[in-house]
Amino acid sequence: MSEKLTIVKVGGAVVEDEAQLQQLLADFIAIEGPKMLVHGGGRRATKVAERLGIETKMVEGRRITDASMLEVVTMVYGGLVNKHIVAALQALGADAIGLTGADGDIIRSVKRPPVSVVGGAPVSVVGGSPADIIDFGFVGDVKTANGAKMAHFIAGGMIPVVAPLTHDGQGNLLNTNADTMAQTTATAMAAEGYDVTLIYAFEKAGVLADASDETSVISTITPKDFERLKADGTISGGMLPKIENALAAVRAGVKRVVITNARAIGKGGGTVITLGNE
């Protein structure tokens, strides 16, 4: 029987609220068995960038990262947020270790090439005027993940806390979507033989049919549901990459993916992402 592993990804809004973060970490360490934590921090990065006079630009929930913004996200994700969470877990008696994709070479990526916006959705450049082209800058698309190395930390009794930064193997750090980091980590650990549950924890009760109604949680989302909800605008912005990554995870062998409130991890509820009849 495969060993169970729980991976929790916590979003930036929860990370910024100290009371919410402390409650999530207490609930997190109460989960039985091995576990990992992947965190965001985009809102904190945006605030720090604003203080430094650096403009934040987003496309469909994804941050454009020029050289100045790369410095900001490296400081915020790999430093301020990551080490704060690690220290908080240590205070709760959990032996945590903070990691980026560069540490231990656990996750490598390749710099995303410029894309052309066709019909509102970024696709690979095949022509078009410069106005149609978006350069995401120092953003990394994951190429490889070393599940064996991550499993080594877990076997040593540690809880890996992973920041959304990767590297290209050539000495360059790259900003990588935190939901993608969680999916990549979960997929790599599933390939190592773990029975993986991936929980995307944020400030909402789940994926909502009505953004203003916390009771309108969509209980399950299949690929067909996702296309329909995306087309009618129910799902947009940062929720798009979250569900795309959740679907990629279940397609790659992750046993269960749930999107839920940070206060509800391990307690049921939320939105379960499933392949349905795909």
What is the layout of strands, in order, in the sheet containing 35-39? 96-99, 159-162, 35-39, 4-10, 195-202, 256-261, 271-273, 220-221
Q: Is residue 27 part of a domain?
A: yes
Alpha helices in the chain (DSSP H): 12-16, 18-30, 42-51, 67-73, 82-91, 147-155, 178-191, 223-231, 239-251
Contact 133, 139 (CB under 8 A): no
| Domain assignment present for 278 | no
- Distance, in Å, from the CA atom of 278 to the CA atom of 274, rounded to the nearest integer, reads 9
Contacts of 212 (CB under 8 A, 6+ apart): none
Domain that holds residue 71: 4-273
Please, what's the largest Cα pairwise distance for the chain?
56
Domain count, the chain: 1
pLDDT tens-digit series, residues 33-50: 999 999 999 999 999 999
pTM for this prediction: 0.90
CA distance to 90, 113, 134, per residue, from 244 (Å): 33, 19, 20
**pLDDT tens, position by position, 166-181:** 999 999 999 998 999 9
What spatial distance separates the first Cα and last Cα of the chain, rounded to whole Å? 27
Residue 110 has φ and ψ, to the nearest 5°, of -120, 140
**CATH code for the domain in which residue 9 is found:** 3.40.1160.10
Q: Which residues contact 47 (CB under 8 A, 6 or more apart)?
A: none
Q: pLDDT per position in the chain (278 positions), as tens?
A: 689 999 999 987 899 899 999 999 999 999 999 999 999 999 999 999 999 999 998 876 678 999 999 999 999 999 999 999 999 999 999 999 999 999 999 999 999 998 776 554 544 444 444 556 888 999 999 999 999 999 999 999 999 999 999 999 999 999 998 999 999 999 999 999 999 999 999 989 999 999 899 999 999 999 999 999 999 999 988 788 889 999 999 999 999 999 999 999 978 889 999 998 76
Q: Which tokens sit at 89?
A: 């877990």
Contact 57, 64 (CB under 8 A): yes
How far apart CA 220 and CA 29 sit, in angstroms, is 26
